[in-house]
Structure 1
Amino acid sequence: MELLRKWLGHPEDIYHLLRFKMGGYRAVMPRMDTDSLGCGLRTCYRYLNQTSRSFAAVIQALDGELRHAVCIFYLVLRALDTVEDDMSIPLDVKVPMLHEFHSHLYQPDWKYTESKEKDRQVLEDFPTISMEFRNLSKVYQDVISDICHKMGVGMAEFLEKKVDSQHEWDKYCHYVAGLVGIGLSRLFSASELEDSIVGQDTDLANSMGLFLQKTNIIRDYLEDQMEGREFWPREVWSRYAKKLSDLAKPENMDVAVQCLNELITNALHHVPDVLTYLSRLKNQSVFNFCAIPQVMAIATLAACYNNQQVFRGVVKIRKGQAVTLMMDATNIQAVKAIMYQYVEEIYQKIPSTDPSSNKTQQVIASIRAISLPGSPMASRHHYSPIYLSCAMLLAALSWQYLSTLSKATEDYVQAGEN
């Protein structure tokens, strides 16, 4: 009944959950025919589906040869990331591996069979991945190899290094996410589905990655603490506590939330770049691929802002909310309206006593200036009384059915929250 009450409070979720379940998901995730692929590529797509709930579906929805390039790009970076995450590899072995990993793309027999990580199959069968890498056009190979090299160097740098300053926070996020945004943008342009400026403007592409990574780091405070990881910049949290872990103590909750709000304000500075980047995209599959994670991120930040729950458990957006965002975020005007909606939600929650309140208001003003809604999408959550009545009746009749959504659909929606 709790689920029913939630849906009755958000009737638009019901409409989009049903629309998504009844086939609307194919608008953003068209089914890919793998039967016509060679054995190596079929294996790579199997690994993609095994190692990524977040990106597998949208990668496979990309047009033409771009989907193969992005699939291989993802698997190469997944293999690199698996090396970084594997704590069983001694540092004197791991650091050279990270530095040299890009060279293994051109070594047909190279593989690593000693990993203990859950995604170790991408290292154990790296010859299949590297073979398909070498089957790509050289323009794609050059991008993937270059980004792999730069990311490996960056990962090695931060293996034993704490994230101290806000500058280093940006640098760390650049290595693990900004470079992904830059690499993807270069692949988009190389495919000729997007103009060359998309791949050339590395500042905007970097901001796309930083916005997503900072959102994840902010939301995952408690999970990272429990696993002994620290990614919040010391320069910020040290103004509020002696140790980062102290923010989770009940007696420190007021200053913890102030620290949280300051980091969210920092992340919001990337939104204007995100909107400028998305406004340049022409291909629908590329737009969906790029826009969906960004609107999930702004919704997540709105849910986290001024929210003590970040320090007590997990803050997630509703599944129906996630599906609504996926179904709506298919054009730049819709995305601007979504961004406007969620920064307004944050604005309404700014405490007058918050040390960052002026900065938060200023960055929201800059986002408003470029995302003021000027289309019917701006009122996408304003429903007529007749619609509301029908939706509430529909909720009452179908809440049990919706609670048993297929696992594939639920996995994808959860991935949008992660």
Structure 2
Amino acid sequence: MFQKILIANRGEIAVRIIRACRNMGIRSVAVYSKEDKNSLHVQLADQRICIGEGPARNSYLNMERIVTAALNMGADAIHPGFGFLSENADFVRLCEKNGLTFIGPKAEVIDSMGNKSHARKTMMEAGVPVVPGTKEPVYDAETGISLAEEIGYPVMIKASSGGGGKGMRVAKSADEFEFQFNMAQRESANAFGDDTMYIEKFIENPRHVEIQVMGDKFGNVVALGERDCSVQRNHQKLIEESPSPAINDEIRNAMNRDAVLAAKTVNYTNAGTIEFILDPKGTYYFMEMNTRIQVEHGVTEMVTGTDLIIEQIRIAMGEPLSFNQEGIRLNGHAIECRINAEIPEKNFMPSPGVVKHLHLPAGNGVRVDTALYTGYRIPSEYDSMIAKVIVHAPDRNAAIQKMRSALDEMVIMGVDTNLDFQYQIMRNPEFCAGNADTGFIERMLRLD
């Protein structure tokens, strides 16, 4: 049993992990930047320690300071949450070198699956369906254009170390390939310090469907069903739901089997997500693996009755999974809306500032994960997501109605948010019919 866990993160995910620690009788340590000294996660934790100035590179991305803080505070383990250092293999090694347990997969697994081109190659060899594309990394446009001709246009150019929509460009013809390749490569180098690229066939109008997996140190891997994350803007997810309205039981079972195969192929432990894209004909392809807990993990928790954060901690302590595959059943329907401090009318420009009044929705089947409180100042240094509204109901139509009610009840004054924009989506006929693919938001904005 861990006695104390340091949370190497901030905001709602740090609050979520602190609450899981409390439920397990484990003490928690919050790290914070000077910008975050009044944040909710700092107030809720049993102990707290400042690790630097506001910008993430000086605080939440500073591996040495975080490990030093964990050692000084007597922590046994570090939970990275999502983002920041959650998929940094060097950070895992630094934790292990200092006798700290990293609550997540092994460093070599993060290395293997974090490099997208290597992950594609691994999945191809394992027999998991992969989007047609390059098997080896690509470093220059000249090589890339010849490979793109073989694959056939349109193609997607992607950063091997990419994530969050960075380093991704579509080339619809040879005439624009070089420009798009160079732009994507430059973005990748700036964002990830890596200019390694790969190229794959661009699947037009796909659905984004991912499978949550959990693996323990005894070789057990369980798939906990799918989440449909197709409603996106600039490759950033806005809404997630489970089960997906786009697949039937046959496809669902096959995706679950392939997700388990993918995880077992790399000896995966802890929480992870196998991301697939689904074409309009119902054929799915492996896209990537996220080697961490996801923002949208609450959707899976609602339909499976599990607590994935507690499960992560138990696995890290060396305990077996508390459930098996036969015990996982999707019950009802769950939807999550990400609430961001931004101005949709101004190209979703971030809107930091002080929360002057806050009212959160509640009731049966309504959950809000947030670190907001009245008087809290939302900083400009970090991601604009400030809350996640999650609802659960017996079926999809009832879940949509419940989400409308929850969004209508939610009040955040003092900053602009996308609450009204999310409400519009819940009223959109295309979304309500279950037909929203990854191009849905762009079509919706054009119609407006």
Please report the TM-score for the alignment, with normalisation by the length of structure 2: 0.29
Please report the TM-score for the alignment, with normalisation by the length of structure 1: 0.30
Higher relative CO (CA 8 A, sep ≥ 6), structure 1 or 2?
Answer: 1
Give 1 or 2: higher helix fraction.
1
Give 1 or 2: higher strand fraction.
2
